[in-house]
């Protein structure tokens, strides 16, 4: 028999150099594949979410605003003006935030 594996990861690659970040991502994928694990991962890195996640939930102000596969989220945003949206595009569209909203106020 097998025991179910659940792994909770909160920003596991934040602050890591690119090689270490890729090593952690590879380890997460290996654990998922070897153990058929359910992994709940929080990240602000949309490329990481796309690489590691079967499904992505976008949370804004404590509310789930979307839950789908990365491809499904991007497909919903496709338009003639944006035929190949990125996961960052999805985040900005769903939260109404742009880069200026995400940066601290530097004028103070």
The answer to whether residue 50 is domain-embedded is no
Q: pLDDT digits over 82-100, tens only?
A: 999 999 999 999 998 665 5
* pTM summary value: 0.78
Of 9, 27, 45, which marks where a domain is finished?
A: 45
The answer to whether residue 103 is domain-embedded is no
What would the two tokens of residue 108 be?
Answer: 């103070």
The answer to whether residue 87 is domain-embedded is yes
Among 23-27, 63-67, 97-101, the minimum mean pLDDT is found in 97-101
DSSP 4-57: --EEEEESTTTT--HHHHHHHHHHHHHHHHHHT-EEEEE-S-HHHHHHH-SSEE
Same domain, 35 and 68: no
Q: What is the DSSP letter of 63?
A: E
The three-class DSSP label of residue 79 is coil
Report the DSSP beta bridge partners of residue 58: 66
The count of structural domains within the chain is 2
Could you tell me the residue range of the domain that residue 85 belongs to? 55-95
Same domain, 10 and 28: yes
């Amino acid at each position: 028999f097998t025991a179910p594996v659940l792994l909770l990861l909160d920003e596991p690659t934040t602050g890591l150099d690119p090689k270490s970040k890729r090593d952690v991502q590879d380890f997460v994928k290996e654990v998922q594949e070897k153990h058929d694990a359910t992994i709940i991962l929080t990240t602000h890195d949309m490329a990481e979410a796309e690489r590691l996640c079967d499904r992505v939930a976008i949370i804004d102000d404590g509310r789930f605003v979307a839950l789908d596969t990365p491809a499904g989220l991007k497909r919903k945003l496709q338009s003639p003006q944006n035929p190949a949206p990125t996961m960052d595009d999805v985040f900005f569209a769903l939260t109404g935030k742009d880069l200026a909203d995400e940066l601290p106020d530097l004028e103070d």
